[in-house]
């Protein structure tokens, strides 16, 4: 692919800034996004908990009920 874009320019966390600054061509970026395959069916659900939540649960278990 002759017009391959630098991966650091198209990272979704930085692309907006590069578009604003004119470093990244908007049309090339749109073409790249449209060329990406839809892999939504490969997504997996994940369950997380925050350390703070675990601490609250632990303290609730240690507190005697009246």
| Domain ranges, ordered by start, for the chain | 1-37
Average pLDDT (40-64) is 77
Q: Which tokens is 17 given? A: 């800034």
pLDDT of res. 27: 95
State the first-to-last Cα distance of the chain, in angstroms, to the nearest integer: 71
Q: Is the pLDDT of residue 1 over 50?
A: no
Q: Which tokens is 16 given? A: 């907006």
32 close to 12: Cβ distance less than 8 angstroms: no
Q: Is the pLDDT of residue 53 over 60?
A: yes
pLDDT of res. 25: 94
Least confident residue range of 21-25, 35-39, 48-52: 48-52
Q: Give dist(CA 16, CA 51) in Å, integer.
A: 32
């Amino acid at each position: 692919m002759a017009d391959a874009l630098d991966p650091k320019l198209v990272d979704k966390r930085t692309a907006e800034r590069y578009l604003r600054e004119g470093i990244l061509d908007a049309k090339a970026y749109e073409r790249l996004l449209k060329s990406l395959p839809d892999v939504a069916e490969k997504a997996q659900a994940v369950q997380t908990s925050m350390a703070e939540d675990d601490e609250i649960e632990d303290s609730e278990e240690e507190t005697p009920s009246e």
